[in-house]
Amino acid sequence: MNKDQIKKEIEETSQVISKLNDETEFNNSVLKIIKDLGLDKANSGKSSPKIEDKVARQAEL
Amino acid sequence: MSFTADIQDNSIFKVLMLDANIIIPYLDKKHADTKETEEELKRLREIGISFYYSQPCFLELLNYWRIKWLFNACILLKKNVPHLHKKFYGIVSNAETEFHNGDRNKYLYDHEVKQIRSLLSSRPELWARLITTLNGKMASLIADLTKINVIYAKFNSEIYPLTDKDNWPKWERAYQFIERYGLASNDAAILNMAIYPTIDGFVSNDGDMEFAVKQGAYETTKFFGL
């Protein structure tokens, strides 16, 4: 492999790894789920701490 | 970690088998060792060395990435969803701090993932919906590795057969690694697949692996690690 080929390969590798680490699309998907389920801060009044306590006790068992 | 000098000085090294603990920081920009690993592998690539990984190594990669994405989702939940149980915030915050400080090499331990799933079960559909965000990510991982020329070592490959069929990996040798050196089963399987004439060396950053090599599990002159 000559120097130009190596340089090209290293550049392509860098691009692939950058894309692999790009979290934008994933984060948007998660944020949409949060919103769809009404769990975001705008809907925080709907929470039920009692249910969370019950679930936490179950998780400890 | 510095293994390139030894390899660069010796022209016999052309094909290296990489452990998961080398590939993970190479791919994950958030890993504490990413910069160092990237520089080391880049130097080796520049002198024409090929990188391979084996099936048990790939299973570790898949699990690391599964947890990485789930952890990302948990971080977003922590920031954007109030009134989840305080234990959830505690687990995620602690993991975030420890990973950032290099005090742990994975985002969440398996028991923490199980605990988080239970803690989120009060919110119908939440966990099931979060899982959907993993869609396609595992399949794309092996494609990305191929694109960057880190190749999955297929023993039946017609392009680059690691060994003839009679010498394909046998479980008995992996059992011996567990019994003689106390290696974890996945480490034993990974080391087992690095012992072939067509593999010039094995690179791992695992202390248990290094111990086993020093005890005779693998040729010390072909092992590069800590």
Instruction: Indicate whether A58 pLDDT > 80.
Output: no
Does B85 sit within 8 Å of A52, measured CB to CB?
Answer: yes
Q: Which residues of A touch B141 (CB under 8 A)?
A: 20
Q: Which residues contact B69 (CB under 8 A, 6 or more apart)?
A: A26, B133, B134, B137
Residue B188's pLDDT is 96
Instruction: Indicate whether A45 pLDDT > 60.
Output: no
Residue A6's pLDDT is 81
Residue B4's pLDDT is 73
φ/ψ of B198, rounded to 5, equals -80, -10
Instruction: Indicate whether A55 pLDDT > 70.
Output: no
Q: Per residue of chain B (226 residues), give pLDDT as tens.
A: 566 777 766 778 889 999 999 999 999 999 988 999 999 998 888 888 989 999 999 999 999 999 999 999 999 999 999 989 899 999 999 999 999 888 888 899 999 999 999 999 888 799 999 999 999 999 889 899 989 989 888 766 665 666 777 777 788 999 999 999 999 999 999 999 998 878 899 999 999 999 999 999 999 999 998 5
Does A13 sit within 8 Å of B148, measured CB to CB?
Answer: yes
**More confident position, A9 or B19:** B19
Closest Cα of chain B to A55: distance in Å? 6
Amino acid identity for residue A25 in this structure: E
With residue B15 as reference, give the H or E element that holds it.
strand B15-18
What distances in angstroms separate CA B3 from CA B6, B36, B58, B224, one per listed residue? 6, 11, 22, 6
Q: Which residues of A touch B39 (CB under 8 A)?
A: none
Q: Taking each helix axis from N to C terminus, what angle separates B34-46 and B20-27, rounded to the nearest 10 degrees? A: 100
Q: How many CA atoms lie within 13 A of A22 on its CB side?
A: 8
On the 0-12 / 13-18 / 19+ scale of CB atoms within 10 A, B30 is middle
Does B48 sit within 8 Å of A13, measured CB to CB?
Answer: no
**More confident position, A56 or B35:** B35
Q: Which residues of B touch A21 (CB under 8 A)?
A: 27-30
Strand partners, B18: B203
Confidence label for A60 from pLDDT (cuts 50, 70 and 90) = low
The Cβ of residue B125 has, within 10 Å, a number of other Cβ atoms equal to 10
Q: Is residue A34 less than 8 Å (CB to CB) from chain B?
A: yes
Q: Which of B48, B69, B147 sits opposite A26 (nearest CB)?
A: B69
Amino acid identity for residue B80 in this structure: N
Residue A1's pLDDT is 67
